[in-house]
Every structure is written in structure tokens, then in C-alpha cells.
């Protein structure tokens, strides 16, 4: 009987774990950047791509405030890009990442959660996105 109670308790703890990881809205493995609005009214964000991740991989920006997104990659050999396909929210671009930073400018027009990812893929290997090279742009009011 005691063993059954222990087992039930263990199950309960396991079930509660994901909820703990969700604290503050950040999921495990997420690196969050909440963009401040600079004095000139622009939200500036720096994003780095590596093998195979983006840092940060969760970007929070305000709706209807211009965004300047500076992107580069920190690795040399593997090609990476950054794709966001959300024209309904005014965010729609695809850019190859270079070692030299490039600046992407857009103004998000609709609150919501929009995926960003690298769409590179080599032959039959899993895509970079499948390997974890993805994230989210969260547009908030």
C-alpha cells in the first residue's frame, strides 16, 4: 500500500513539472528578449544565429512601434537564414545571415505570436528548423 502511495506521489510531481517550467511564460530552452523602446521611438533587437539555434529565440515587441532587428550569424561554415512569414502582422522577410550584421526594419501591426525560423536544409538531413533553429516573435499591445 505504501508503495502505491509513493508511486502516485511520483506521478503527481512529474505531472506538475511542465507547469513549473512555464513560470514567467518562458518555456524550457527559451531565451527571451523584451525589446525596450529607445528614446527615438524604435525597438532595437539583436539576434544571433548559430548551429542550430537563435539567441534570443523569443522576442517580445510592442505593436505599432517600429522595430530594428540586427541579425548576424556567429558560425562560419553552415549557411543560415531567418524567415518570418506573417504579412498579416506587417512582418514578412527572409534574409541570409552573414557574419556582418544586417538590419531588418518593420512595424508589427497586429498582436500575436509569429514563428521565426531558418529554412536551410542539406540533402536528406533534417531541416535546421527541425534541429531547433526556430523561435517566436511575440507582438503585444
Which positions touch Cu ion (CB under 5 A)?
80, 118, 120, 128, 133
Sorted by sequence, the CB contacts under 8 Å of residue 84 that are 6+ apart come out as 91, 92, 93, 94, 114, 115, 116, 137
Q: For residues 25 and 126, which CB has a smaller minimum distance to Cu ion in the complex?
A: 126
Q: How far apart are CA 73 and CA 128, in angstroms?
A: 14
C-alpha cell at 58: 523569443
Q: How many angstroms from the chain centroid is the CA of residue 127?
A: 16
Q: For residues 88 and 96, which CB has a smaller minimum distance to Cu ion in the complex?
A: 96
Q: For residues 58 and 73, which CB has a smaller minimum distance to Cu ion in the complex?
A: 73
Q: State how far the alpha carbon of 125 is from the alpha carbons of 43, 116, 120, 130, in Å.
A: 36, 20, 10, 10
Shortest distance (Å) from residue 50 CB to Cu ion? 9
Q: For residues 12 and 125, which CB has a smaller minimum distance to Cu ion in the complex?
A: 125
Shortest distance (Å) from residue 76 CB to Cu ion? 13
Shortest distance (Å) from residue 115 CB to Cu ion? 14
Shortest distance (Å) from residue 120 CB to Cu ion? 4
Amino acid at each position: 500500500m505504501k508503495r502505491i502511495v509513493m508511486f502516485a506521489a511520483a506521478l503527481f510531481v512529474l505531472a506538475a513539472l511542465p507547469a513549473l517550467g512555464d513560470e514567467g511564460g518562458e518555456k524550457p530552452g527559451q531565451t527571451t528578449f523584451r525589446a525596450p523602446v529607445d528614446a527615438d521611438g524604435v525597438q532595437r533587437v539583436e539576434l544571433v544565429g548559430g548551429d542550430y539555434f537563435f539567441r534570443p529565440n523569443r522576442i517580445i515587441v510592442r505593436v505599432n512601434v517600429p522595430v530594428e532587428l540586427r541579425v548576424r550569424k556567429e558560425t562560419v561554415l553552415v549557411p543560415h537564414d531567418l524567415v518570418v512569414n506573417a504579412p498579416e502582422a506587417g512582418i514578412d522577410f527572409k534574409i541570409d545571415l552573414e557574419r556582418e550584421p544586417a538590419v531588418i526594419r518593420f512595424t508589427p501591426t497586429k498582436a500575436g505570436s509569429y514563428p521565426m525560423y531558418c529554412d536551410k536544409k542539406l540533402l536528406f538531413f533534417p531541416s535546421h528548423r527541425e534541429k531547433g533553429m526556430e523561435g517566436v516573435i511575440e507582438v503585444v499591445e
